[in-house]
Amino acid sequence: MITLTDYADAARERLGPAVWDFVEGGAGAERTLAANLTAFEHVRLRPRVLTGLGLPHTKTEVLGRVWGAPVGVAPMAYHTLAHPEGEVATARAGVPFVVSTFASRTFEDIAAAATAPLWLQVYCFRDRTSTRRLVERAERAGFEALVLTADAPRLGRRVRDLRNGFLLPPGVEPANLTGTGFSAPGEHALAEFDAALDWSVVGWLRSISSLPVLVKGVLTGSDALRAREAGADGVIVSNHGGRQLDGAPATFDVLPEIAGAVSGSCAVLIDGGVRRGADVLACLASGADAVLVGRPVLHGLAAGGTDGVAGVLGVVTDELAEAMLLTGVPSPSDAGPELLTPTEPAA
């Protein structure tokens, strides 16, 4: 297991084809899914030599907490699809972890296993009372922030799942929601998500909890500013891993616009297609405070449980430290745009 591709290959052998498609797939023609990866392929980093700096460190402060590296786990539904222990095994890897509203293990069990910060990803239901219960329960369990997913008034049109008629296997269910009984994720979303949310939901979340709120799914500088004005403590630049609006831009391509718009007034995280340490460094250089990794974490979980998750995130962090050393960056906050070779304008 040397690169994340090795974990993906091992996971593919273990997960059935329909679960593999559910994890890997995107919306529509999967253009945005592909664009997230391609955006990083075009990055060229400018090395700096003979800097006299010695070995770098990867410690990073995010919302007042020190993370071992600027790398966390993106919220993903139903980790028990990948491993019987699900989110509990993921949490044991000891890396900051955004737990989905659709987690398949209870918040309390996940919190008991975690040694790094846990955040709750919130899908806001039309039934605000059940949303509020979810938030209160996570806060009581020790979760440290709320991540409002703003790009999913309903789930995207995932062609692979439609062709497979994908249903959750028996026993895989949302452990923190009561009485749902849906086994098609898209139907569940359609029935319960509030498709008419506006920016006032940020204030509502702040009013029901004392936790910081981040808005996930921001892809423009103007929306980042609106999030800030609405009282958000951070934004997560995300297109949901290409699973929502097919045709949305690659997250890495819009990161500079968003970081520039908020200019340090709130935390900026990014997810989508981060597969190597050099990708993380490119994100830091473009203004992100930290990145979240999605699918590869489920690959690690399927391939080797907690050790697999720790292995995946360890590869990314080791590669990041190496890239920092070779570019003369002593700590994550020292990465700036001068590290990136300007791309040629299109002919």
| Contact string 171-190 vs ligand FNR (x = CB under 6 A) | --------------------
What does the alpha-carbon distance between residue 270 and residue 251 come to, in Å, rounded to a whole number?
Answer: 7
* Closest approach of ligand FNR to the CB of residue 229, in Å: 22
Residue 302 CB, shortest distance to ligand FNR, in Å, is 11
In the list 70, 117, 273, 332, the residue contacting ligand FNR (rule: CB under 6 A) is: 273
Under the binding rule (CB under 6 A), the answer on residue 193 touching ligand FNR is: no
Give the closest residue to 146 by CA, choosing from 229, 232, 224: 232
Instruction: Name the active-site residue from 79, 83, 188, 240.
Output: 240
Q: Which is nearer to ligand FNR, 41 or 344 (CB)?
A: 41
Asked if 36 interacts with ligand FNR (CB under 6 A), we say yes
Q: What's the Cα-to-Cα distance from 344 to each of 44, 175, 271, rounded to whole Å?
A: 11, 49, 25
Sole binder of ligand FNR in the list 295, 311, 327, 335 (CB under 6 A): 295
Residue 149 interacting with ligand FNR (CB under 6 A): yes
Beta strand extents in 55-191 (DSSP E only): 60-62, 65-67, 71-73, 97-99, 118-122, 146-149
Among 176, 209, 238, 317, binds ligand FNR (CB under 6 A): 238
What is the DSSP code (8-state) at residue 84? T
Q: How far apart are CA 320 and CA 274, in angstroms?
A: 11
Q: Answer yes or no: 79 catalytic.
A: no
Report the candidate in 190, 183, 177 with the shortest Cα–Cα distance to residue 161.
Answer: 183
Complex with ligand FNR: residue 102 or 107, whichever CB lies closer: 102
For ligand FNR, give the closer residue by CB, 24 or 139: 24
| From 86, 287, 294, 304, residue interacting with ligand FNR (rule: CB under 6 A) | 294
Regarding 271 and contact with ligand FNR (CB under 6 A), the answer is yes
Tell which positions 103-122 bind ligand FNR, by CB under 6 A: 121
Determine the interface stretch with ligand FNR among 175-183, 266-274, 311-319, 333-341 (rule: CB under 6 A): 266-274
274 lies in the binding site for ligand FNR (CB under 6 A): yes
CA dihedral (291, 295, 298, 304) positive or negative: negative
Q: Give, for 217, the enclosing helix (H) or strand (E).
A: strand 213-218
Among 32, 80, 90, 100, binds ligand FNR (CB under 6 A): 100
Does position 300 interact with ligand FNR (CB under 6 A)? The reply is no
Q: Can you say how many angstroms the Cα of residue 264 is from the centroid of all Cα atoms in its chain?
A: 20
For residues 119 to 138, the per-residue mask of contacts with ligand FNR, x marking binding by CB under 6 A and - elsewhere, is --x-----------------
Beta strands in 19-110, from DSSP E residues, in sequence order: 60-62, 65-67, 71-73, 97-99
Cα–Cα distance measured from residue 100 to residue 123, given in angstroms and rounded to the nearest whole number? 8
Residue 23 binding ligand FNR, by CB under 6 A = yes
What is the rounded distance in angstroms from the CA atom of residue 199 to the CA atom of residue 38?
32
Up-side HSE of residue 110: CA atoms within 13 Å toward CB? Answer: 34
Position 125: which residue type?
Answer: F
Interface with ligand FNR (CB under 6 A): 23, 36, 74-77, 100, 102, 121, 149, 216, 238, 240-241, 243, 271-274, 293-295
Q: Which residues are catalytic?
A: 240
